[in-house]
Amino acid sequence: MEQPAGTRDQRDVSPYFSRDFNGLSAWAELGELARAPYDLTASGALSPTRIRSYRTQAAGFDLLYSTQRVDEAVLAALQRLAEESGAVAQFLLMKKGAVLNRIEGYASEDRQVLHTACRDIFGPVSLAPEASAQAKGELEKLADFLAALEAGDIVNAAGEPFTDLVQIGIGGSDLGPRALYLALAAYKIPGRRVHFISNVDPDDAAAILSGLDLAKTLVNVVSKSGSTLETMTNEELVRKAFAEAGLEPNLHFLAVTGKGSPMDNPARYLRSFYMFDSIGGRYSATSMVGAVMLGFGLGYAHLMDILRGANAMDLAAEEPDIRCNPALLLALLGIWNHNFLGCETLAILPYSQALVRFTAHLQQCDMESNGKSVTRQGKPLAWESGPIIWGEPGTNGQHAFYQLIHQGTAIVPAEFIGFRTSQYGRDLLIEQTTSQEKLVANLLAQALALATGQPNENPNRRFAGNRPSAVLLADRLTPYTMGALLALYEAKVVFQGFIWNINSFDQEGVQLGKKLATRLLTHYAGQRRDPGYSGEASDDPGRALLAAAGMLAKGESG
């Protein structure tokens, strides 16, 4: 497969790998400050001055953090934590091509991390020029393809235009792209629709296929290796549906894959677009993984706006002052809540129905990146790494799990995401306020209520308060602001990994279950070929487990 793009930056990043989080002087300072964190319930704690000053801006977003349990002393200590850990310095090295996806002294992926190069394409100078040139090359291929579709140069066998596209992928090839498309459906090209098949559950594919005119449908198969089991299985299922409809699949199927992979095959695909080893799956939404589908569904101009917004936030993430860097500040506030105030989970709560799958994407981006228990030198962690990420859109969530957030025994920090105006502009006055005003009012009220609480002689109606939150607010959810929001959270996750001294770019934890599933499938296949098949070698300690699991899956008693 194609190797990572560009010249591998050989600068010595090893000193950062040896900076243990609990060995930084800011660690001890923050530990002392956490003994008496800022009291949000005190009289005057949320003053107009604090609300105005505890705010930073970048790429169209305001980050409002007056409802966090921080004061000037904590913010100063967090600034020192960022500097001692080299968070921004490592971010810049990452953007330049340093090999940061590795564990020193142990077998690892040993790769660059260049997802930012996918959108570092607008200025005269790129920090990773060869990787950016690769991204530009793929975008040019995509622009030509989309133009040919628009001009009617690429049509189906009956000379009709394609109206639908199905994206087949899983994990990072599905979650981020799906979240972006749903978020921006208001901008879709009239007469075009995009659909997604990810789960290997055959009902997922069947439900999508049942509502399509396959003759007018393109299928975009996304797999870097060209061998992802779930994706390959779904591809064959969909190819069979096309063949049964009397259609030639090779005239409908597109591929997004690694150069030289088994899927890099013009005999099977109408077009192929490349993804590269330096771009991890959960960071790949702005690569061809998301771009092909977004270009088809939204148009090339809107795709470029997504990239511009992401690039603007990437540039803001280079700012060393945490009060001018929303991604770094959000990362540090998360560390303060998680490592020093003992909060185990984080609720991400978008007050926009269009962001219905964005938290699901962030679950992967954050938990697959920072759900680690060893340092970048392979030593067991002596501190907590990534939190549990969860959430749903407001205001629906207010009528579901907000009870626990307000009055439960667990303290759940929250990150609210909202927009001052709606996407479609279809609204009306009811009791002298619009629906969008009601939405934003609920968002702000929740943040204030969590912070200040409410005393009451009735313990059942008492709210303790001091439950931290932050608010991300933009004017409108557009392709530009969506790109910025995506890049903000990508940078936040990366910054936290740098500070915790963990590798945020591999995912070894997903492999064990896959290996065992493969063994079970081998067991099933053996029994299908030979009913007397009894499994693997008798000295295999997993044989009994596999046999029992196989019986349970088939509903057999034993």
What does the DSSP assignment read for 102-138?
--TTS----B---GGGGT--SSS--SSHHHHHHHHHH
Would you state the pLDDT for residue 193?
Answer: 98
Structural tokens at position 89: 């310095």
What amino acid is encoded at 365 in this protein? C
- Cα separations in angstroms, 211 against 159, 194, 287, 454, 471: 21, 12, 28, 51, 39
Would you state the pLDDT for residue 6?
Answer: 43
Task: Enumerate residue ranges in the chain where pLDDT < 70.
Answer: 1-11, 532-558
The strand pairing partners of 9, in sequence order, are 98
Would you state the pLDDT for residue 545?
Answer: 61
Spatial separation of the C-alpha atoms in residues 36 and 42, rounded to whole Å: 13
Interhelix angle 326-335/300-316, nearest 10 degrees: 60
Distance of CA 228 to the CA centre of its chain: 19
Among the listed residues 303, 328, 304, the one whose alpha carbon sits nearest the alpha carbon of residue 314:
328
Would you state the pLDDT for residue 548?
Answer: 61
Contacts of 295 (CB under 8 A, 6+ apart): 142, 143, 145, 146, 303
Among the listed residues 7, 29, 255, 188, the one whose alpha carbon sits nearest the alpha carbon of residue 112:
7
What amino acid is encoded at 79 in this protein? Q
Number of other residues whose CB lies within 10 A of the CB of residue 223: 27
What amino acid is encoded at 203 in this protein? D
Spatial separation of the C-alpha atoms in residues 469 and 492, rounded to whole Å: 16
Among the listed residues 75, 72, 86, 70, the one whose alpha carbon sits nearest the alpha carbon of residue 21:
86
What is the pTM for the complete model shown?
0.94
Would you state the pLDDT for residue 123?
Answer: 83
The residue whose two tokens read 């499994």 is: 535
CB-based contact 153:165 (threshold 8 Å): no
Is 368 part of the annotated catalytic residue set?
yes
CB-based contact 206:238 (threshold 8 Å): no
CB-based contact 8:99 (threshold 8 Å): yes
- Convert 202-255 into a string of H (helix), E (strand) and C (coil): HHHHHHHHCCCCHHHEEEEEEECCCCCHHHHHHHHHHHHHHHHCCCCHHHCEEE
Spatial separation of the C-alpha atoms in residues 296 and 303, rounded to whole Å: 9
What does the DSSP assignment read for 519-555?
HHHHHHHHHHH-TT---S-TT-TTHHHHHHHHHHHTT
Spatial separation of the C-alpha atoms in residues 320 and 120, rounded to whole Å: 19
Calculate what percentage of the chain has a pLDDT beyond 90. Answer: 87
Q: Of these residues, 235, 368, 415, 490, which one is catalytic? A: 368
Would you state the pLDDT for residue 550?
Answer: 62
Q: Of these residues, 72, 244, 399, 554, which one is catalytic? A: 399
Spatial separation of the C-alpha atoms in residues 224 and 70, rounded to whole Å: 43
Residue 389, class by beta-carbon neighbours within 10 Å (0-12 exposed, 13-18 middle, 19+ buried)?
Answer: buried
Q: Of these residues, 140, 236, 240, 514, which one is catalytic? A: 514
Dihedral over alpha carbons 204, 210, 213, 214 (to 10 degrees) = 50
Backbone angles phi, psi at 350, to 5 degrees: -80, 125
Among the listed residues 182, 471, 187, the one whose alpha carbon sits nearest the alpha carbon of residue 353:
182
Among the listed residues 186, 251, 255, 244, the one whose alpha carbon sits nearest the alpha carbon of residue 217:
251
Interhelix angle 479-500/72-85, nearest 10 degrees: 80
Would you state the pLDDT for residue 124?
Answer: 85
Read off the pLDDT of residues 503-542 as tens digits, 9 standing for 90 and up: 999 999 887 777 777 777 777 777 778 776 666 544 455 5
Backbone angles phi, psi at 464, to 5 degrees: -70, -30
